[in-house]
């Protein structure tokens, strides 16, 4: 069997690409649907779910490169004519489905890859070239948009595959021509081909369908990074020092990958006397809205009962005294998360410029102290350490009113 195509037959290379792609795509569809429905309540269940998604993603990257090679090969080869080109409606539909399939082979795996690269952590791709992509930022908005495209394009791919299979079976069982047989090993007996219609209508129609599908995906995808807008915002607090801006960021390690995020809604009531050189120089009470947490691809999981249990415990609090430390200051008090009150001493650096103070603190907590992830008693799935980075700028209340 020749390697290259002719005007009436597919060569061995084209046939190999066809059946290899079909095998990979069908495997990926099954893996994706199964992995999506797998539970993740326990350590073992999460590990199994992550393994299935890693396999799905890794094969998806393989499909992307196989698809590129297949398209390049197809462009370099003559395209065998349709055996039913004299039936205008059927030949139009056959060409349309082929164009939809070629688009799917690029858009579906690429959108999934972009969603993975934009997300933080969970189910890495099994290869040595890293998890990021050039020009793709770590962004929940980008992740959601790409994931929406992946979902819609995947359903369009499934529809095109069903039409493609139905057409092949019709050729084989109803028309009894050699359309299916010429894609199988060997050389099927073929008669003279009818006049071919090489118009652009099927390709243009496929582009229109893809444009509509992508528009649908992008208009239905979440457009911001706010994880939960249903929880009531924390009210303003009266404070001797008013926070002007700041952030509370956290980083966890899941399956060996760092997942970064932060809390969007929190308040701080701070009293502080910079002129006091000894002992306790102030107090702080901070309240954090747990539902305001954004934590990459595992945000929803983090809100669950086995982790932060945001529905039952919507806030975390820290109350402590501010005092001098050997290197700067420290806040010594109690951190309460998920109903678990744990003593905590938080060292921090403070920079004062008149009535403006800039504070920064970096500390590491142990999730087990707060009953977070008790269903994952080992670090294989979720590390015990949680890194916390606090940055804020505060201004003395009433300072702007002074003459």
User: Which residues are CB-contacts of 326 (< 8 A; sequence separation ≥ 6)?
Assistant: none
> Which region, left, alpha or beta, applies to residue 276 given φ > 0 means left and ψ of -120 to 50 means alpha?
beta
Residue 23 belongs to what domain range? Answer: 12-220
Residue 39 lies in a domain: yes
Domain shared by 203 and 319, yes or no = no
Within a domain: residue 93?
Answer: yes
Does the residue 3 lie in any domain? no
Say if residues 350 and 357 touch (Cβ distance below 8 Å).
yes
- 340 part of a folded domain: yes
Residue whose pair of structure tokens reads 């799917």 in the numeric block = 104
Same domain for 395 and 254 = yes
pLDDT tens for the chain, 403 residues: list them: 789 999 889 999 999 999 999 999 999 999 999 999 998 777 788 889 889 999 999 999 999 999 999 999 999 999 898 888 888 899 999 999 999 999 999 999 999 999 999 987 778 899 999 889 999 998 888 998 999 999 999 999 999 999 999 999 999 999 888 889 999 988 877 778 888 876 889 999 999 999 999 999 999 887 554 445 556 788 888 899 999 999 999 999 988 788 889 999 999 999 999 888 888 999 999 999 999 998 877 888 899 998 999 999 999 999 999 999 988 899 999 999 999 999 999 999 999 999 999 999 999 999 999 999 988 888 888 899 999 999 999 999 877 654 4
Phi, psi at residue 308, to the nearest 5°?
-75, -20
Residues 149 and 298 in one domain: no
| 175 and 253 assigned to the same domain | no
Looking at the structure, tell me whether residues 174 and 209 fall in a common domain: yes
Tally of domains in the chain:
2
CATH of the domain at 273: 2.40.128.110
Please indicate, yes or no, whether residues 209 and 269 belong to a single structural domain of this protein. no
- The Cα 330–Cα 356 span in angstroms is 18
Same domain (yes/no): 202, 311: no
Model confidence pTM above 0.85: no
> Is 113 within 8 Å of 227 (Cβ atoms)?
no
């Amino acid at each position: 069997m020749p390697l290259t195509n002719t005007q009436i037959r597919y060569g061995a290379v084209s046939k190999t690409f066809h059946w290899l792609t079909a095998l990979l795509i069908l495997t990926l569809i099954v893996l994706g649907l199964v992995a999506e429905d797998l539970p993740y309540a326990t350590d073992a269940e999460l590990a199994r779910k992550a393994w299935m998604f890693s396999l799905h993603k890794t094969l998806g990257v393989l499909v992307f490169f196989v698809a590129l090679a297949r398209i390049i090969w197809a462009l370099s080869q003559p395209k065998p004519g349709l055996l039913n080109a004299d039936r205008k409606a059927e030949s139009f539909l056959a060409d349309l489905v082929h164009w939809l399939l070629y688009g799917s082979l690029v858009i579906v795996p690429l959108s999934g890859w972009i969603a993975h690269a934009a997300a933080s952590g969970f189910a890495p791709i099994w290869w040595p070239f890293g998890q990021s992509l050039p020009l793709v930022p770590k962004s929940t908005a980008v992740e959601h948009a790409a994931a929406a495209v992946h979902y819609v394009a995947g359903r369009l791919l499934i529809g095109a595959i069903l039409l493609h299979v139905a057409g092949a079976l019709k050729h084989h069982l109803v028309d009894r021509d050699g359309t299916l047989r010429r894609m199988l090993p060997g050389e099927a007996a073929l008669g003279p081909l009818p006049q071919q219609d090489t118009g652009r209508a099927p390709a243009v129609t496929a582009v229109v369908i893809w444009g509509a599908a992508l528009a649908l995906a992008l208009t239905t995808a979440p457009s911001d990074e706010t994880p939960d807008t249903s929880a009531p915002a924390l009210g303003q607090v009266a404070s001797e020092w008013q926070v002007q801006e700041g952030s509370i960021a956290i980083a966890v390690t899941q399956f060996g990958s760092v997942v970064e995020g932060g809390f969007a809604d929190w308040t701080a009531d701070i009293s502080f006397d910079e002129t006091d050189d000894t002992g306790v120089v102030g107090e702080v009470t901070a309240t954090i809205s747990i539902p305001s947490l954004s934590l990459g691809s595992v945000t929803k999981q983090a809100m669950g009962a086995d982790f932060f249990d945001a529905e039952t415990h919507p806030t975390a609090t820290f109350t402590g005294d501010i005092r001098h430390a050997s290197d700067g200051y420290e806040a010594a008090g109690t951190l309460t998360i998920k109903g678990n009150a744990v003593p905590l001493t938080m060292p921090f650096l403070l920079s004062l410029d008149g009535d403006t103070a800039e504070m920064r603190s970096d500390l590491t907590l142990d999730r087990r102290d707060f009953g977070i992830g008790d269903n994952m008693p080992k670090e294989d799935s979720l590390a015990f350490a949680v890194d916390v980075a606090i940055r804020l700028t505060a201004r003395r209340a009433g300072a702007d009113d002074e003459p």
